Structure 1
Amino acid sequence: MKLLHIDSSPLAGNSVSRQIGRSVVAQWRATHPGTVVEYLDLAVDAPSHLDADSLGFRLGIDAAELTDAQKRENAVSERLVTQFLEADVVVVGAPMYNFSVPSQLKAWIDRVAQAGRTFKYTEQGPVGLAGGKTVIVVSSRGGKYDGVPAAAHMEHQESYLKAVFGFFGVTDLRFVRAEGMAMGEAAKAEGIAQAAEDAKRHTAVAANEGRASVAA
């Protein structure tokens, strides 16, 4: 089993999503011995945002006509989409930044959102091509949005990731959520404790499902 662990926060040791993400990966490995983990730190190694060169994979330009810059960018896109497709499990550290996700995580999504690789269009509409994997999003937020109707219109983080991974065909999408990180020490402690419970529940569910598959 291959697990791809992605971090996107630039806060290093001060990052809640990084802290919880490491815990999720450790718990997964404990319940799935032999899991091979590949790590991608988008705060250190983020792809550039899409431009005239990095859009080469989408424009269908003949390989012989690509510039050197386009070839380099295509290689980056190919490496990232292949890494994602080969993973059985993806753990994504995704803090909320200004009501959405960090721009470096968006840049990664833009590279792996490739027609013919992670999705396709048909006469009936889009079809995801990257199903059959588990995606666990480690979500951290300064405020509280879950179950708060007045804040729903500002939440473009988890809802966006649900749309993206759903578009890719991922049906096993789980959230480990730490809210209230900027609302005082008591709220922060409560949010981290809730995230720890989410992590235990999701990795336990995954372990049980794995045993059921083997038994079947």
Structure 2
Amino acid sequence: MKKTLVVSYAPRKGSYTKQLVDEFIKLADGKTEITFLDLVASPPDLLLGDNLNLILYGGQPEYTDEEKKRLSNHFQLIQHVLDADHIVLASPMYNFSLPATVKAWVDTIVVTDKTFEITEDGSFKGLCEEKKALILAVAGGDYSEETTHEYFSPTIKRNFEFIGIPSEQISAFGVAQYPEKVDTIISNAKAEISKVVGQWY
């Protein structure tokens, strides 16, 4: 059975992001082995001085038990991605971009010699090419027009591409801007989720 990693950041009460995550899990139940990662309950470690330098320069010739314990969450998050056939990332948009907690997850999984490598000619090659990703994006404003600017979508798409994972995005934009249309916006997103589940499994 295919394995699916569902990564969710939905801290707000009455979260529309959570509604979309719940819909995916309901539709995919029994069709795939799901690993659920709640970034609110289990946030990634920020890349600060101690752990960042340990990641970059430690482990020679191998990590000590204490170092392994310090980086256990970091290693586990990477392994989640390596083990999955499909990845679902669900998040609201904050101030035109990724919430800090979601960006911290991205920073954790984009790592040399694990999810990408530098080739002999100095170019980059993703090491996760057999996987697929789905992004569930919710925003209060409507960023569906090409003339509007938001950095959530291109940032997460580019990072997935960098490690070799093609992605598609289902957007529920305008939930605050068009309160009278919320039910339609969410219903349309759920219908698109159903299509992806049918294609994947």
Same fold by TM-score greater than 0.5: yes
1:6-25, CA deviations, whole angstroms, 9 ceiling, x for partnerless residues? 111211x4111111011112
Contact residue 89 and residue 134 of structure 2 kept, 8 A:
yes
- C-alpha distance in 1 between matches for 2:153 and 2:28: 22
Contact residue 45 and residue 74 of structure 2 kept, 8 A:
no
State how 1:158-169 maps to structure 2 within 5 Å: 158-169=153-164
Which has the larger displacement, 125-134 or 59-68? 59-68
Which residue matches 1:22?
22
Which residue matches 1:62?
60
- C-alpha distance in 2 between matches for 1:169 and 1:65: 28
Whether 1:97 and 2:98 are equivalent positions in the alignment is: no
Contact residue 2 and residue 86 of structure 1 kept, 8 A:
yes
Contact residue 181 and residue 188 of structure 1 kept, 8 A:
yes
Structure 1 unaligned spans of 5+: 208-216
Shift of 1:198: 1.3
Whether 1:115 and 2:112 are equivalent positions in the alignment is: yes
For the residue of structure 1 that corresponds to 2:161, the secondary structure is: helix
For the residue of structure 2 that corresponds to 1:53, the secondary structure is: helix
- C-alpha distance in 2 between matches for 1:197 and 1:64: 48
Shift of 1:43: 0.6
1:160-203, CA deviations, whole angstroms, 9 ceiling, x for partnerless residues? 110000001002x1212111111132232221122112112212
For the residue of structure 2 that corresponds to 1:50, the secondary structure is: coil
Which residue matches 1:7?
8
Structure 2 unaligned spans of 5+: none
**Greater share of helix residues, 1 or 2?**
1
- C-alpha distance in 2 between matches for 1:66 and 1:146: 49
Contact residue 5 and residue 81 of structure 2 kept, 8 A:
yes
Count of residue pairs brought into register by the alignment: 198
Shift of 1:54: 1.8
- C-alpha distance in 1 between matches for 2:137 and 2:64: 38
Q: Percent identity?
A: 25
Contact residue 138 and residue 177 of structure 1 kept, 8 A:
yes
Q: Which residue type is aligned with residue 161 of structure 1?
A: I
State how 1:17-166 maps to structure 2 within 5 Å: 17-29=17-29, 32=31, 35-55=32-52, 56-62=54-60, 68=66, 70-122=67-119, 123-149=121-147, 151-152=148-149, 155-166=150-161
Which residue matches 1:192?
186
Shift of 1:29: 2.8
Q: Which residue type is aligned with residue 159 of structure 1?
A: P
- C-alpha distance in 1 between matches for 2:139 and 2:197: 21
> CA 1:65/1:90 → structure 2, altered by over 3 Å: closer, same or farther?
closer
TM-score by length of 2: 0.90
Shift of 1:38: 1.2
> CA 1:66/1:20 → structure 2, altered by over 3 Å: closer, same or farther?
same
Shift of 1:77: 1.2
